[in-house]
Amino acid sequence: MKIKLILTFIISFVAAGLCQAHALWIETSSEGQLNKKHIVKVYYGEYAEQLIDSIDNWYSDVKDFEIFLTSPKGNKIKLDKQTNSDHFVSEFVPTEDGIYTISVIHGAKEAYETMRFEFSSIAFVKVGKQEGMTGEHPFHLKSLNDNEKLGSEINLAVYDNSIPQKETEVIIMGPEGWTKTLHSDALGKVSFKPLIPGKYIIEASKTDEKTENWNNQKIDKIWRGTTIAIQVK
């Protein structure tokens, strides 16, 4: 019995590790302009290794994700997406000042043993000076900085809706393969100082115990990985 439990743990750990190595992320400017087209791109790959997968190689049915836009007033619409070789492109035109939220949350159809995987990414776009509302969102990361600058401390927080997620693993993946693993504090916060300019992909992950039937597969765990992309100048 002990050997079986150990093997189950090892299999689950390896499976989670494989999914953590790969992530889905949204790239878009954090600032938009009123009545001007705003571009959104969605990638999947192993950013720590500077690897972006071609769409044909995305895990399971992750490429079938849906992307949603929530306006400052809370109106939510599904955005169209166009296929490129290694990413998808979407767009929207801001028609009011405030904070727009772009979100992708996709549970992969294929599970591993008794664990299924949920990939997500949320981006916030500020238009004008008015802050507006961001609403509540499932498990996600949020930057607490107005601007991300080289050498300055960058603060982030992990939330599940409005609840801070303490002791959550957060992996910082930067340019040139630089990585750092942190754990959120009691308020769900982590911070780091970037020493290299460029794009950073930050991923938070957790595993929830939940028994359910998922696409005719009996599962008892859900691995959730969520990302945010920031540009350090």
Per-residue pLDDT tens digits for 53-92: 999 999 999 999 999 999 999 999 999 999 999 999 999 9
Cα atoms in the 13 Å half-sphere on the side-chain side of 126: 10
Domain count, the chain: 1
Give the structural domain span for 211.
Answer: 2-232
Pairing between β-strand 179-183 and β-strand 82-83 as defined by DSSP bridges: unpaired
Residue pair 157/188 in contact by the 8 Å Cβ criterion: yes
Q: CA 172 to CA 97: how far, in whole Å?
A: 31
Residue pair 123/28 in contact by the 8 Å Cβ criterion: yes
Per-residue pLDDT tens digits for 124-168: 999 998 766 677 899 999 999 888 889 899 999 999 998 999 999
pLDDT band at 98 (very low <50, low <70, confident <90, very high): very high
Q: CA 119 to CA 108: how far, in whole Å?
A: 7
Summarize the confidence of residues 9-33 as an average pLDDT: 70
Closest by CA to 180, choosing from 202, 196, 148, is: 202
DSSP state at residue 12: H
- Whether residue 18 has pLDDT greater than 50: no
Which two three-digit tokens encode residue 31?
């600032």
- Residue % of the chain over a pLDDT of 70: 90
Q: What are phi and psi of 214, to 5 degrees?
A: -120, 105
Res 133: pLDDT: 60
Q: CA 170 to CA 14: how far, in whole Å?
A: 18
H-assigned helices in the chain: 2-21
